[in-house]
Structure formats: C-alpha cells, structure tokens
C-alpha cells in the first residue's frame, strides 16, 4: 500500500487530458499535477531549455511530494527529456510518445498515418524514430501546428479562428490521405471537434492519454507501489501562472476533480 502520489506535469492545460484518463482508470491513486502555465508554450522553445524545465519540475515533484512515479504529460517535454529523466531519477518515468504510437499503429488499416504536434516535437524527430522502429513499412506524414496550444490556453476551443488555422495547418495530413491521426500534443484533444471536422469523418483521431494511463497501470499493478483505496484519493493541481484562471479553465477542461489550484514557483 503506497500512499505517495503520482506526479505529472505539462506546460499548461494539455496534460489534463492525461490526468482525466488516469483518474478514470486509477481513481484510487493520489495525484499531483503541475501546469507550467507561467512558461508555456514549450513547443517553440529550444529542446535543451524544455529539458531543464522538465528536470526542475520532476525534482520538485519528488522532493516536495515524494512522487512515486512521474508522468511527462507533454509531448514536447517527452521528446526533449524522457530518456535523461529515466536515467537520472530513481523511480519510474512515463512519457506520452510511445503509448501514442502504439495506439496509432493499432488503429491504422491503410498504413498511411499522420502525427501532429508542436514545432519542438515534430522537429525533434522523436515520432519519426519511434514509428520507424516499430513499423518501417508505414507511410508517416507529420505536421507541426504552431498556434493550437495558445488557443487552448485561452479557452478558445471552437472558434472560427481555430477552424481557419486548422484548415491551413492540417493540409499536409489531409493531402496525404491518412486514415488515422495521432494528436501528438496533449493540448490537441481539446480541439478534437475542429480537427475532426477538418480531417473528415473517416479519419480516426488518436490521443495518447488512455494508453499512457494503461502504461502507468501496468507499472503499478501487482507491486507494492499501488495504492488500495482505504480513503478517497486526493488530486492536487498547481500552476506557475495565473492560478485563478487555471482553476476556472482547468475545471471546465478536466471536470469537477479540479476544485482548487495552488501556486507553484519554479526555482530561481
């Protein structure tokens, strides 16, 4: 019986898609979530800067909360920092890229697949590498979608402006006639209605959230790291930006578990 929380982080609201899946799958686990909204977006920053943010937040989650497992609930940070974090930290670290690719490869029929993500994620080549390792025979088209994250952070998930931007940015994956598209940024599921309309009904949209939650369950299952529900679990949400905004928009995006947000300040 391990009461220690699972620690997870993202640049902002995006990782809440993974938090939702985790709370649904493992409702008995305690959770501490850091949304680094004071420094978002990560996707346009150099990868070594994102690596240092990921390092800081993971250390904080371990030192201040004794997190038993860390979820890097951000594709950009997973692309930049997953391997070094797994090397350095003395507890399991789970990213979102491998779980997302596994789901994507399961659903494709034609072998024409797409991945969209931030400039940092797509430019890192992380998805291209993982797909090539598992299925070199598929045809992968990647597209960076700068601007999507900013719309989500402002709470604008269904405006005409998002639609216009989506039509322009998704053109390469539409033209490639993919049959399945991985939302390779944890913010993007909040735009899935618009993305789905632009891609067309036949294209399956895949998110890494559920598969990441399953990966966490596999790690905890049958070990003394799992928590058994003796008392209700706690879910804490911290933000390095505007805490009231995090509370308001976060509750709308995640649901009622986000009652309150707390301030978090990165080390200077």
Binding site for ligand DGL (CB under 6 A): 10-11, 14, 40-43, 74-76, 118, 121, 149, 185-187
CA distance 123 to 119: 6
CA distance 46 to 178: 29
One DSSP character per residue, 169-186 reads HTHHHHHTT-SEEEE-ST
In the DSSP assignment, the letter for residue 263 is: E
Closest distance of CB 194 from ligand DGL, Å: 17
CA distance 229 to 29: 8
**Complex with ligand DGL: residue 54 or 243, whichever CB lies closer:** 54
Structure-block tokens of residue 70: 């860390």
Closest distance of CB 218 from ligand DGL, Å: 22
**Complex with ligand DGL: residue 28 or 49, whichever CB lies closer:** 49
CA distance 171 to 145: 11
Closest distance of CB 40 from ligand DGL, Å: 4
**Complex with ligand DGL: residue 108 or 121, whichever CB lies closer:** 121
Q: How many CA atoms lie within 13 A of 251 on its CB side?
A: 11
| Helix runs in 182-224, H state only | 192-199, 209-220
Give the DSSP H or E segment for 32.
strand 31-35
**Complex with ligand DGL: residue 10 or 211, whichever CB lies closer:** 10
Q: Which of 192, 184, 154 is nearest to 74 (CA)?
A: 184
Active-site annotation, residues: 74, 185
**Complex with ligand DGL: residue 119 or 138, whichever CB lies closer:** 119
Closest distance of CB 158 from ligand DGL, Å: 19
Q: Which of 236, 235, 263, 258 is nearest to 247 (CA)?
A: 258
Closest distance of CB 59 from ligand DGL, Å: 20
């Amino acid at each position: 019986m391990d009461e220690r929380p699972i620690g997870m982080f993202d640049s902002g609201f995006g990782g809440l898609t993974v938090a939702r899946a985790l709370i649904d799958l493992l409702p008995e686990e305690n959770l501490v979530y850091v949304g680094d909204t004071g420094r978002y977006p990560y996707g346009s920053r150099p990868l070594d800067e994102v690596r240092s943010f990921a390092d800081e937040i993971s250390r904080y989650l371990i030192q201040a909360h004794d997190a038993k497992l860390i979820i890097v609930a951000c594709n950009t940070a997973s692309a930049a920092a997953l391997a070094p974090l797994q090397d350095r930290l003395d507890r399991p670290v789970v990213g979102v890229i491998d779980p997302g690719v596994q789901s994507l490869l399961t659903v494709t029929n034609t072998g024409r697949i797409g991945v969209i993500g931030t400039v940092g994620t797509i430019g890192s080549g992380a998805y291209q590498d993982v797909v090539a390792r598992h299925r070199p025979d598929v045809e992968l088209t990647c597209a960076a979608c700068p601007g999507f994250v900013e719309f989500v952070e402002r709470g604008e998930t269904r405006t005409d402006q998002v639609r216009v931007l989506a039509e322009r940015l998704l053109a390469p994956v539409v033209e490639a006639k993919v049959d399945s598209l991985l939302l390779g940024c944890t913010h993007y599921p909040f735009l899935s209605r618009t993305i789905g309309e632009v891609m067309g009904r036949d294209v399956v949209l895949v998110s890494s959230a559920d598969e990441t939650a399953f990966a966490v369950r596999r790690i905890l299952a049958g070990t003394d790291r799992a928590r058994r529900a003796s008392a209700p679990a706690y879910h804490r949400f911290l933000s390095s930006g505007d805490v009231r905004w995090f509370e308001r928009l976060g509750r709308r995006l995640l649901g009622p578990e986000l009652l309150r947000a707390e301030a978090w300040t990165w080390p200077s």
